[in-house]
Amino acid sequence: MCGIVGYIGKRNAVTVLLNGLQRLEYRGYDSAGLSIIEDGNLLTFKKQGKVKELIKVLEGKEFKANIGIAHTRWATHGEPSDINAHPHHDNSGNIAIVHNGIIENYASLKQMLISKGYKFVSATDTEVLAVLIGYFYEKVKDLEEAVRTALTEVQGTFGLAVLSTYEPNKIIAARRGSPMIVGLGEEEFIVASDASAIIQYTRQVIYLSDNEMVTLNNENYYTKTIDNIRTNNIVHLVDFDLSKIEKGGFEHFMLKEIFEQPQTIRDACRGRLIVEEGIARLGGLLPVLDKLREVDRIIITGCGTSWHAGLVGEYLIENLCEIPVEVEYASEFRYRNPILRKNDIVIAISQSGETADTLAAVQEAKQKNATVLGIVNVVGSSIARQTDAGVYIHAGPEIGVASTKAFTSQLVVLTLISLLLGRMRNLSKIEGIRIARGIKELPEKVEKILEKADQIKEIAREFKYSRNFLYLGRGYNFPVALEGALKLKEISYIHAEGYPSAEMKHGPIALIDENMPVVFIAPKDEIYDKVISNIEEVRSRKGRVIAIATENDETITRYAERVIYIPDTLPMLTPILTVIPLQLLAYYIAVELGCNVDQPRNLAKSVTVE
């Protein structure tokens, strides 16, 4: 959650900071602010609302500062307001801080500081940290030492950047559980919570580890632990360019990312699928191949859309590999004392690789000596670095808050893992080749579905005023029903629920009347006839049926009011196709209702707080 950017160098800091905030706004958009040092003075500007509101505040003002920090907020402690917006100051007004995360012991720290005469003006935990740094600065007269000492007193998570007129040519940043990246330019440095704020200026970055801080000045940088031990960091090259985080002519990032899926599916497979042998080669799993051969049980964990991908993974692995699989909400996994045995493997799925609950689940599993694998999108992310092995999905930056291309790429990677494990066990070469051919054909089949966008837009117009939706699917497509309902909820604010089709009669059928659209995922497979029976149950109660069906299925037209066709594929691959119309349906309904598709209310892209 939230976006941080800091700059020190020769450029106009305000320009760099505002550019960075606009790149980071998908991480939080309740309020925005920045602090700069100009002519020895600390100047802070902040405003409730999106970054554009902050830009209005700055219009007509001339700045020449070359150092500053900035923040775009997703509110945790304290409602969205000008006062609660970051940056926050210490009591002297000479130290400014921007912060992502949650200070869990802020109340006791605040009470201690109040007892010593310190004042507070906001309702945030971040201001407590700012005042605490000021308190220690008064004692040690050294900004770096004041920040370091304050962080040793803090319980919770943080990614932060600190600026002070006491040492006006220095930025100090640190992290624990919330990502921070340092961009290394020519005579300039940029610190940010996300590479998207950096790549306009440099592709060379270092990733701070947990409990690590960096000190930046005009000429160089150095890193150390919060325990004051110097560290060395590997310089990485960010592998995407600016065009990847721009809309490229699309009205919204979400629509762009939906239409990128033919390419992102290809990218997820590139160099990994050996069709003529019916196998998958996943270099990221080489260190654990022996453990994969001996695995007795797999536990998949994730949140939201990644959890839905894990549910599909459960069907894939159990069907192809005959390995028992459990799928856990990461937010529950760490708190229920999970039982992990010697030959169990935990797979953590996260687009950002920074999801707080999923990262905590990884740490819990590792503490119990489990082998932990990661399926993530962001190279260098915390989950990628803390797992024993893993597979990148190579979906590229996903800016839209509602995940689309990351989901289908996660499904592709889970299918490749299932193929790899299956061939290591009892899956025949003939079957492996059949699956590999099916995977290879997916991008072209997704392109055919995207050609139906105008048809789906018409359906959206017809149903946009419905206040409830029901999504139903069976087998591999039950998780897709959950994902379709989630997409609609996220961006249109229409209540929607996903269920297994057969569960409808065990409660949800009571909701069905002439005002209830019911979306059935009904590809031609071994349980098609049972889904048709479920559709008839809805029709007999006057429900309005929208069906996702296999091309050339004429039968479905006798039962469904609206039909969206997908190309034929193997049953195990259908989720990668059936979810595309549901993404488009949610998108077009939200657009019709005038919703902010890329920045839905109360949501942010990467949930880095519990």
Output the CA torsion 303→589→457→409 (10° steps).
-10
* Cβ–Cβ under 8 Å, residues 215 and 161: no
pLDDT computed for residue 305 by the predictor: 96
Three-point CA angle 173, 388, 345, nearest 5°: 130
Pairing of strands 67-73, 31-38: antiparallel
Burial class (CB in 10 A: 0-12, 13-18, 19+), 210: middle
Q: DSSP character for 208?
A: P
Q: Single out the residue in 447, 465, 482 at which a domain terminates.
A: 447
Question: Among 177, 185, 176, which Cα is nearest to 216's?
Answer: 185
Predicted TM-score of the model (pTM): 0.84
Question: Looking at residue 74, what is its pLDDT?
Answer: 74
In-domain check, residue 243: no
> Exposed, middle or buried, 478 (CB in 10 Å: 0-12/13-18/19+)?
buried
Q: Both tokens of residue 489?
A: 């909820």
What are 329-362's pLDDT values in tens digits?
999 997 888 889 989 999 999 998 888 899 999 9
Q: Are both 282 and 199 inside the same structural domain?
A: no
Q: According to the model, what pLDDT value does residue 600 have?
A: 87
Mean pLDDT (whole number) for 96-105: 93
Q: What pLDDT shows up at residue 218?
A: 87
Determine if the peptide bond prior to 87 is cis (ω within 30°): yes
Higher-confidence residue of 16 and 599: namely 16
DSSP 177: B
Domain count, the chain: 3
Domain's final residue, options 417, 447, 477: 447
In DSSP terms, which residues pair with 176 in a beta bridge?
158
Q: What pLDDT, on a 0 to 100 scale, did the predictor assign at position 604?
A: 63
Choose the catalytic residue: 2, 269, 303, 595: 2
* pLDDT at site 5: 96
- 444, two tokens: 């072209």
> pLDDT class for 605, splitting at 50, 70, 90?
low
H or E, element range at 15: helix 13-24
210/257 same-domain check = no
Residue 415 counted as domain residue: yes
Q: What is the mean pLDDT of residues 384-412?
A: 94
Beta-strand ranges (E) seen in 294-385 are 297-302, 325-329, 344-350, 371-376
Q: Residue 84 in contact with residue 75, Cβ under 8 Å?
A: yes
Spatial distance between the Cα atoms of 258 and 555, rounded to a whole number of angstroms: 29
Please check whether residues 439 and 466 belong to one and the same domain: no
Are residues 526 and 576 located together in one domain of the fold? yes
Can you give the pLDDT at residue 428? 96
- Mark whether 377 and 458 lie in a shared domain: no
| Residues 377, 398 contacting (CB under 8 angstroms) | yes
Q: How far is CA 96 from the centre of its chain?
A: 28
Question: Which residue range(s) make up the domain with 418?
Answer: 249-447
Asked if residue 169 and residue 272 are part of one domain, the reply reads: no
* Residue 347 and residue 203 share a domain: no
244 in a domain, yes or no? no
CATH of the domain at 339: 3.40.50.10490
User: For residue 294, how many other CB atoms are within 10 A of its CB?
Assistant: 11
Question: With 60 as the cut, is the pLDDT of residue 298 above it?
Answer: yes
For helices 574-592 and 453-463, the axis angle rounded to 10 degrees is 50
Are 430 and 379 within one domain? yes
524 is catalytic: no
Residue 361 domain flag = yes
pLDDT tens, position by position, 57-71: 999 899 999 999 999
List alpha helices for 425-527, DSSP H: 429-450, 453-463, 478-492
Tell whether 526 and 410 lie within a shared domain: no
Domain stops at, among 387, 419, 447: 447
Whether pLDDT at 237 is above 60: yes
Q: Same structural domain for residues 57 and 96?
A: yes
Query: Is there a catalytic annotation at residue 366?
Result: no
228 in the same domain as 298: no
* Residue 492 forms part of a structural domain: yes
**Is residue 475 located within the same domain as residue 442?**
no
CATH number of the domain within which 59 lies: 3.60.20.10
pLDDT band at 214 (very low <50, low <70, confident <90, very high): very high
pLDDT at 34 over 60: yes
Residue tagged active-site, from 46, 445, 487, 605: 605
Task: Please write the tens of the pLDDT for every residue from 445-466.
Answer: 999 999 999 999 999 999 999 9
